[in-house]
Structures are given as structure tokens and as C-alpha cells.
Structure 1
Amino acid sequence: MSDADTPTAPRPRRWRRVWGGWREKYPVAARVLAWATTAVALAVVVVALLMPTQADKVRLAAFVRLPVEAIFGAALLIVLPRKPRIAVAAFAGLGLGALTVVNFLDIGFNEYLGRGFNVVLDWSLFSDAQGYLQDTFGKGGALGIAALAVTLVIAVLALTTLSVIRLGNLAARHTETATRTTLVLAIAWVTCAALGVQYAAGIPIASEHTMQALQFKAEQVQRTLQDEAEFAKIAKKDNFANTPPDQLLTGLRGKDMMITFIESYGRSAIEDPVMAPGVDATLTAENKKLTDAGFAAKSGWLTSATYGGSSWLGHSTFMSGLWISNQQRYRTVTAGERLTLPGAFKKTGAWDTVGVMPGVQKAWPEQNFYGIDKLYDSHKLGYKGPKFSWSTMPDQYALTAFERLVHSKKHDKPLMSTIILTSSHQPWAPIPELVPQDQVGDGSIYNAIEKAGKKPADIITDSTKSKQEYGKSIQYSVSSLINYLVKYGNKNTVLIFLGDHQPIARVSGNHASRDVPVSIVAKDPKVLDKIAAWNWADGLQPKQDTPVWKMNAFRDRFLTAYGSTPAP
């Protein structure tokens, strides 16, 4: 046989040759690096398996536990042959990475919306989040944050996958040691679970966190799908669906109605020790303005269907009398013919219905569902000034535009106006200032105010500063609304105003209620006499013991109090 015919062993890949040579040259450094890499892989897997879903539960004790999933996983990888082991490890690592990403989403959603991430319904919210980031940090900043988020997701998936594969290969190379270790950990887990051993904080040492998380998500998907069918049936039931027009709202005929939402105006604004002093002083001062102008008010509490954001869920809950707590319910109800509060006024034929919604920046098909004849969105209010982060225009300007374009015009019928004020939308920087009414103009006056205001980056990561600025934004919104009412309201004006939800947890506090203030203001004493049985507090500030209703209860109680006859 010639030299050419002599078989040769396959040459190792270049990186293996380089690594092998380096390892032989620096054996101590190579061992340290190998052990460090293994330690990192172990830490990644443990952290991923034990990651809490709420920021306030992220503590050292949460990660110093025995995850049963790791014990079962190790036992499986030890007995599998090489190729199946690598395939199973890669699949498990990807799944663990995906669960870690969902856990981080849960933390974010709990922090901002007071609930976890719904894997069925919440994907649509990312476009709203992108718009919020763009308004807060600009296009460049929003793109940078989005790119960073995508990079982190890919990194998490890759890191968990490589970590599980490495640990599986290590267990296969040291089968005897891995088997003994797994057996010891299994005995320890069973013992701790049987005896209920836990840390002082009440955290059990024997953990089933990942299995419980997967079970919860699976049940959540099932509940979501069931809720869709059940809610569709509930939405069809309406106590006032067949009430004749002449039997609706007979107690408010001839009144100019205003339903106004103040963004993020929650109970915390009135009761939190940081925000309350300024907000309460403003409510007291504005109530005196109303009294001096001949108005009176009664106020109560409503529990919103949303928290921290998704304002449209609060709006639709209040207007429709249905509990609209997720996007699927919102789509279901707005695709139907449910009688809303503006729709009830429209149905009578005795009111013209208008909407002033500076936060609406694109086509809004829900206009027909709500029964709004004419809509003034952000493009139709004539504003030429700057945006204030997410808010397209200051509340004072929106109300002034409403007066100029709508209220001051001659009408054959009274108005039913739905107004959504946005200046108290997070991040609460910069905040507009009240300007003399005759200087509002086209909004150009706000250019200097916006430039002189705080930047979102100055407060967005600081809870105390966020609270302070949030409180100031609520003061501004309430003052803008009451100033408008005192100047342009008359004996036939009736104002209902409320918050749509509490601010985010970083401002309202962990585990805060979902309650928001609601007030009805009028000059005609007969209007407030009709709700005397509600036991609401006098003035603009509900008391701590004032009755609390779920927000969806308001529609039917309001319709009934003002002369509507139920006809399901």
C-alpha cells in the first residue's frame, strides 16, 4: 500500500486544536475557566427555575432553594445517550429561556398594570408600549430600547440553552458523582417538603416554582378561552336594551352633560402621604371655586377594571356597565350593540353627542359603539404647540378647544360631551402649566413651558420624584377642568368626572387598591338630590368610608337614578 492509500485520522477543528493547545499550556487557568463556566451555567439554570414574577419578591432567599425540576432534569439527562441528551437539553434550555422571558414580562406587567402577563391577550399591548417609549424618549431612544430588548431575549434563550447542555454533558462525563449528588438532593427535597421547612420570610426551601408557573399559565390560557365565550353571552344581556327613548334619562332632560375622564386619577392621589397634601389642597380650593360659583358636588369611589394603564378598559367599563378587564372583552363588547352612557343620551333623540379625545391619534372605529355623533381627536382640535411626552396637548387647551369648536356654538339640543383629559398620563414630565385663558390661542404658548419642564429621564426611575410629579399633574388636570366649568358652565350644566385607573405600582404602591374617585357636579340641586341615597360625600373629595362600587355598576345605577325604565 502506498503512502497515498494510508488512511489518516480526521483532523480536529481549528478551535479545538487552539483550545487544546492553550489548555495544555495553561492547565490551571483552563481548569479555573472550566469551573467558572460551569458555575455560571448552574447559576443561570437555578435563577431561571426560581425567578419570581413580582419585583418585591426578588430576594436572596427566593434563589437559595431546591428546585424539584432541576432534580428530575438531572436524573433524566444522566441516563440518556449522547444525541438524545443534547436534544433534550437544548429543548429544555429553550423552554426555560422562554419561561424566563415570560417571568420578566410578569414582573413588568405587575409593576405597571398590577397583574401578570397574559400569554393569549397581551401581545397587542407591545405596539402601545412602543408608542409610549417613542413619545417619552424619542424615535431613537425607542428604537434603542426595542433593539436592547430583542438582544436580551436572544441572549437569555441562548444562555439558558447552552447552560443546560453544558450541565448535561458534565453529568454524563461524571455519571457516578452526578448520580450520588442527584440522589442526595432528591432526599433533601422530599424531607424539606414533608416537614414544610421554610425561611423566616415564609419561602419554602423545597421549590416547585417552575411547575407551578407552567400550570398557572396553562390554566390562564384555559380561563381566557372560556372567558371569551362566557363574556359574549353576558354582553348580550342588558337591562336597558329595549327601553323606549321617551323612558330614558327623563330626569336630565334639558341638561348639558359632560362625562370627563382624568388620566390615572386614582385613590392614591388623595390618600398617599407624598401626593395627598398637594392634591387634597387643590380639591379643597377647587371645591370652594365651585361653591362660590353656585355649583355643588358629590363624590364616591369606583373600582376600576384596570390598573396602571390600558385606560380604554376603564372607559368602556364605565360607559357600558360591563366588567371589561382584558383586551378580548374589549373587542367583544365594542363589536356589539351594547347601550353605553353616551349611546343612551343619543337614543333619546334629546341630545347631540360629541367626543373630545386628544389621546386618539388614528382611526377610532369605537366611535360608533359609544354613540358619539361627532369626534374631535388630536388632529381636529387645532393644536399647534408641543407634545408633553405621551400627551398630545395640555388639558387646558383641550377644554378651551372644546369651548371654541363645540360648546360655544348654537345648538338645537343640549350636548352630551365625552372628554378624555391626558395631561396626567405617565411619565409625568414635563407637566403643562395653567396660562391666562386669553393667551391659550393655538397652543404655541406651551413651547416655552414644555422646554423648561422636567425630562422623563429625570424622574422615570425615581419613585419619590414620580410620585411628586404625578401629584402635580393631577392638580393641573383637576384645576383645568374646574376652571373651565366655573367660566363656561351654567344652571343646566352637569359634569361627571372620574379617574380611569390608578397610576403604576411604583407610584400608587405595591398592592394598592384599584379605586378611583368619581364626582357629579351641578348647579341644579335636583340633580344631586336624585343620588342622595348613594351616600356619596359632599364636595370633590370622597371620604375614606364613602361607599365603593365596582365601576361597571355605575351605568345602571345612574340610568335608574335619572328616570330610566329597565326593559331587558
Structure 2
Amino acid sequence: MRSAPSTRTRPASPQDDEAPRRRLAALLVDCLALAFVWTALVLPDTPDRLTPSALVQVPVEAVALAAMALTLPRRPTRVLVWLVGVLLGLLTALKVAGLVSVGVLGRPFDPVTDAAHLGPAVDFVSASFGSVAAGGAAVAAVLLVVLLLVGTPLSVGRAVRLVQRRRGTSVVAVLGLTAVWSVAAVSGLGIAPREPLAAADTVRFAEGEVRAVSSSLAEQRRFDAAVRVDPYRRAAPGDLSALRGKDVVLAFVESYGRVAVQGQASAGVQRVLDAGSRQLRASGYAARSAFLTSPTFGGVSWLAHSTLQSGVWVDNQSSYDRLLAGDRTSLTSAFGRAGWRTVALLPSDRGAWPQGRAHYRFDTVYDSSSLGYAGPGFGFSMMPDQYALQAFQRLELAPSKRPPLMAEVDLASSHGPWAPVPHMLAWDGLGDGSVFAGMHDGAQTAGELWSHRDRVPAAYMASIEYSLTALISFVERYGSDSLVLVLVGDHQPATIVSGHGGNHDVPITLVARDPEVISRISGWGWQDGLRPGAGAPVWRMDLFRDRFLGAFGKAPR
């Protein structure tokens, strides 16, 4: 008699336990790859469009890629995957760069000219938030680029293999998405304002980048031609007789933009300027103000400095480098040829600047190491503006036997991150600057400020109030009949203060005690006082050089 069949089950093996986990892990990786590719395709390139609704768009590029994966043979598909993956990774990296550039500088990223800004950006973070933060930001940026350039091709490959494995489901999905995209494209259906359901952003972005590169190269050729047209190159620009014996000080106030003098948030700055106008008038000074349109926004101050000095529009690093490699006449070199001693006071520069002598023809360049400061730095600024101005007085204005002076003074206490911000002390008590140590120790740090981003605009305004107060007080205390001050902003502050889509206007003011100096610019239409109103004239910044030299000297032949 046969025995009954055994009902015992085979013991589960470790391989049986691992199989569901592997399938679950594979499913998770597939989902992550699809999400990665989808996000890369719909990622906008401007912060104002970076919303959750943007991720709900249907990208036609995804539909096309899936359709090709279903119809092409496997070998051409593998080549296509890597080509598409590398291109999409590069475009996504450019989109991320664009998000940062628009968010900070208010303009799209230019791959031809903007790569040179990476070094200064790291230096800014290091000076403002510390070397650890700068190192962390640099590492994070490198990792992000590696993730995009390596992870995107891998994700595209994973997504394509998934489509090929599940052909039936994929065909239905492609047909459905094609129908949805077509209906939405024809009807204009959108999921939010400026967010159509049917998207083709990556194709348009790629076309735009190709056009931008071509435009940048053409702009460089136009810039080179403009630099060569310089009526002041061959001969001294007149004798500047209307300024003979005057000390001309060109003072740039960092991030001093139109937003600082107009609008409810600027009430404190307006009070400083209006009170300063009354104080200077009581001391015998007159002031006239207007606006200039800066070539830069949110940063890269040296582009504005070179534009105003050279009389040519310098709006990118490549143009700046090309300008400084040539011999175009600057305001500084014009004064130098006419007999003035020329000086640059750069209290927050941390290294040598050979172009100051080679291109601008400054006789002396003072940086942070040559002003005798022994106190702490304040954010990006190596020293408070009040100390820098007093050092300028001690080193250059105080000596009695000297030629007339033309100086560029770059004030940096209003430079981002706008914390900590110093406050005014008695001029006689500044000493070597060590007195500022106690002020610094009790002040809000940059990290504390930026952990509450809603407080940043007010901190910006406070820094502008300080810089303007220091400069007005300096004129009151150390000014003379021979002083001619040109006070100008370099650019608007970053978008966290100025908002997106803001203009590039910055205030400019000419201050002098000699009525003949003021009469020379009477035809400019500038407004009385230190604060330009809404109706004040607006010039492009590159027009200032020729108009200034023409007003105070002889026109070139």
C-alpha cells in the first residue's frame, strides 16, 4: 500500500526572501528615474515659474522620447539614450545656473561670459559667511553638476528600458499623453497662469541657448568695435580748467539702487538724504541728483565701475577683461593726463589689482592691507566705511603741499549680506579701528539674518543709511571749497530686495561748494538735493564719461 503524498512545504531560502526586495528596489529606482527625467524636462529657468504646478505639465519631449524607444531598434536606441541624456543633463545644469543668475543678478545665465564669475562668487560667500560655508557651497555645486551630467543619462537609460520592457502599458501611456498634449496645445488649456498643460520648454530653452551663445559672440565683436571709437584716446581731453585746483572724489556706494530712494521701505534712507541735503546746504554746499542705468544688477560691481569710467557699456566679464587689456581713456587717466594725482581707495579688496595702474592709470591703489585697520570685518566689508573715509582723509586729503586729487573710493559697508552693519562713532575716536570690535561682537551675524529672509530688505536699507550717513558726515567734517564729490550707486541690490523684473537704475549726485561747478551742469536737468525724485533724468551709465569731461573741459577735436 502506497503512502500518502507528503504535505510538507520546502523551507524558504534566502533567495526567496530577497526576490521581493529586489523587485521593490527595482520599482523604486524606475520611479526615481522617471521622476528625475520628468523634472529635468519641465524645470523652468526663472525663479518666478518655479512652482509645484510646473511639475504637472506634460512635456512633449518625454512623449517623443518614449515613442522613439518603442519604435527604434535597440542598438540605435542605446546611442540615442546617451545623446539625449548628456544633452538633457547639460541643459538642466544651464537651467539651474539660470535660476541662480536670475535670482541674484536679475538676468539669465550666459555660458559664454558668466563662467568667470564662479571664483568671485566663492570669495563672496567666504568673506560673508565664512570659509566653511564657502567650501560647503563649492562642494554642493560640484556634486550637483556631477549629479546632473552623470545622473541624467543614467536616468534616461533606465526610463527607456522600462518603456521597452512594458511595451503594452507604454503604448497606451504614450497614446494617452499624446492626446492630452495635443488637445491642451490646441485649446490653450493651462494649469496656472503662464503654465500651459502642454509644454515644450526644453526644446525652446535649447534653441534659446544656441541663440544666446551666437548673440554673445556677436556682442563681443560689437563691443570691440565700440571700444576702438574713443575721441579722447589720442589727445588729452581739454585742460579740465573748470575743475582746476579741485579735489574730485568719485565715491561708489555699494548696492545703492533706485529701490533705496523710492517706495515705502526706503523711508529711512529718504530721511537721511533729506536731512543731509539740509546739513550740506547749511555748510555752503549744493547738490544735484539724477539716475544712471547700470549695466549690472545685484552684484558684479566692477562692471558698473568700468562702464562709468570708460564711457562704454560693460555688462559681462568677457567685455571687462577685454576693456582692461586695452588703452581706452578712463576718467582717471583723463585727470592724470591733465595734472591730477590719481588714487583708488578699495578698502575691501583682498589682493593685488595690477589693472588699477596698467589700465586706469591710478598713481596709488590702497586696498584692505594698506589702510592701517586693526578691527574686525563686517560681513563682506573688511572695514566700516567711516574708517575707510577717515583713512582717505589722513593719507591723501590732509597733506597741505600736494597736487589736486582725483580719487575713486569704493564704499562696501552696504555690500551683501548686509550683516553685521556698523554704526557711526565719533570721528576723533576711531584710532586704528580696534574700537569697532565691541560693536561687531554684539551685532547680528549674516547667518542669523539670512535664516529669516523676510528681514533682509530692512537690513539692506539700514546698511545704505549707514554708508550715506558716513559719507555726508565726512563731507561736513573734512570737506572744503575745493571738494567736488560724485556720489553714485553701482547697481540695484539682489532680487530679495529689488524683486524680479526690476530696473537697473542707480542714484547719482554731484556735490560742490563752488557755484561755478554747479553751473557747469545746469543744462543736465538734474534735481536739487541729494535725493533724486521719480521724475529725475535717467541716463545710461556709459554716457557719463563724455558728458562729464565735456562739461568741465574742452571737447576733443
Deviations 1:46-76 (A, max 9, x none): 1110111111211232222221111111122
TM-score, structure 1 as length reference: 0.92
SS state of the match for residue 379, structure 1? Answer: helix
- Is the aligned partner of 1:183 residue 2:175? yes
- In structure 2, the residue matched to 1:261 is 252
Deviations 1:203-232 (A, max 9, x none): 222211001111111111111112222211
- In structure 1, the residue matched to 2:4 is none
- In structure 2, the residue matched to 1:355 is 344
Structure 1 range deviating more: 364-373 or 538-547: 364-373
Contact 1:357 1:378 in 2 (8 A): yes
Q: Quick one: distance in 2 between partners of 1:501 and 1:238? A: 25
Contact 1:497 1:520 in 2 (8 A): yes
Structure 1 range deviating more: 148-157 or 256-265: 148-157
- In structure 2, the residue matched to 1:4 is none
Contact 1:530 1:561 in 2 (8 A): yes
* Equivalences for residues 63-212 of structure 1 within 5 A: 63-212=55-204
One-letter amino acid matched to 1:352: R
- Is the aligned partner of 1:421 residue 2:408? no
Deviations 1:122-177 (A, max 9, x none): 11111111111111222222212222222233334444333222211111112233
Contact 1:358 1:420 in 2 (8 A): yes
Structure 1 range deviating more: 135-144 or 395-404: 135-144
Q: Quick one: distance in 2 between partners of 1:301 and 1:237? A: 25
Deviations 1:77-125 (A, max 9, x none): 2234445434432442333233222211111111111112111221111
Q: Percent identity?
A: 38
Q: Quick one: distance in 2 between partners of 1:61 and 1:140? A: 36
Structure 1 range deviating more: 381-390 or 295-304: 381-390
- In structure 2, the residue matched to 1:240 is 232
| 1:346 equivalent among 328, 336, 352 | 336
- In structure 1, the residue matched to 2:243 is 252
Contact 1:248 1:559 in 2 (8 A): no
Q: Quick one: distance in 1 between partners of 2:59 and 2:542? A: 43
| 1:364 equivalent among 353, 369, 375 | 353
- In structure 1, the residue matched to 2:291 is 301
- In structure 1, the residue matched to 2:40 is 48
TM-score, structure 2 as length reference: 0.93
Distance 1:22 1:166, change over 3 A: farther
Q: Gaps spanning 5+ residues in structure 1: where?
A: 1-16
* Equivalences for residues 206-225 of structure 1 within 5 A: 206-225=198-217
Contact 1:301 1:516 in 2 (8 A): yes
Contact 1:136 1:427 in 2 (8 A): yes
Contact 2:248 2:405 in 1 (8 A): yes
Q: Quick one: distance in 2 between partners of 1:231 and 1:198? A: 42
- In structure 1, the residue matched to 2:53 is 61
Q: Quick one: distance in 1 between partners of 2:200 and 2:509? A: 47
Q: Quick one: distance in 1 between partners of 2:276 and 2:361? A: 31
Deviations 1:169-195 (A, max 9, x none): 111112233234323323432333233
- In structure 2, the residue matched to 1:397 is 387
- In structure 2, the residue matched to 1:13 is none
Q: Quick one: distance in 1 between partners of 2:168 and 2:191? A: 32
Q: Quick one: distance in 1 between partners of 2:16 and 2:538? A: 74
One-letter amino acid matched to 2:156: V
Distance 1:420 1:182, change over 3 A: same
Deviation at 1:461, TM superposition (A): 4.6
One-letter amino acid matched to 2:202: T
Deviations 1:491-542 (A, max 9, x none): 1111001100000000111211110000000001111111112111110000
| 2:444 equivalent among 454, 479, 489 | 454
SS state of the match for residue 370, structure 1? Answer: coil
Deviation at 1:243, TM superposition (A): 4.1
* Equivalences for residues 458-477 of structure 1 within 5 A: 458-477=448-467
Deviations 1:13-54 (A, max 9, x none): xxxx98x64454x4xx66655544433322221111011111
- In structure 1, the residue matched to 2:219 is 227
| 1:553 equivalent among 521, 539, 543 | 543
Contact 2:294 2:304 in 1 (8 A): yes
SS state of the match for residue 369, structure 2? Answer: coil
Deviations 1:276-310 (A, max 9, x none): 11111111122222112111101000010000000
One-letter amino acid matched to 2:249: M
Q: Quick one: distance in 2 between partners of 1:461 and 1:411? A: 52
Deviation at 1:436, TM superposition (A): 0.8
- In structure 2, the residue matched to 1:315 is 305
Q: Quick one: distance in 1 between partners of 2:190 and 2:450? A: 36
Contact 2:236 2:334 in 1 (8 A): no
| 1:498 equivalent among 488, 506, 519 | 488
Contact 2:53 2:192 in 1 (8 A): no
One-letter amino acid matched to 1:359: S
Instruction: Tell me how many residue pairs correspond in the alignment.
Output: 544
SS state of the match for residue 264, structure 2? Answer: coil
Contact 1:359 1:422 in 2 (8 A): yes
Q: Quick one: distance in 2 between partners of 1:461 and 1:156? A: 28
Q: Quick one: distance in 1 between partners of 2:342 and 2:370? A: 16
Contact 1:93 1:164 in 2 (8 A): yes
Q: Quick one: distance in 2 between partners of 1:393 and 1:159? A: 44
Deviation at 1:334, TM superposition (A): 1.1
SS state of the match for residue 352, structure 2? Answer: coil
- Is the aligned partner of 1:386 residue 2:376? yes
Deviations 1:379-430 (A, max 9, x none): 1111111111211111111111111111111344211111111111000111
- In structure 2, the residue matched to 1:534 is 524
One-letter amino acid matched to 2:346: M
Q: Quick one: distance in 2 between partners of 1:21 and 1:253? A: 95
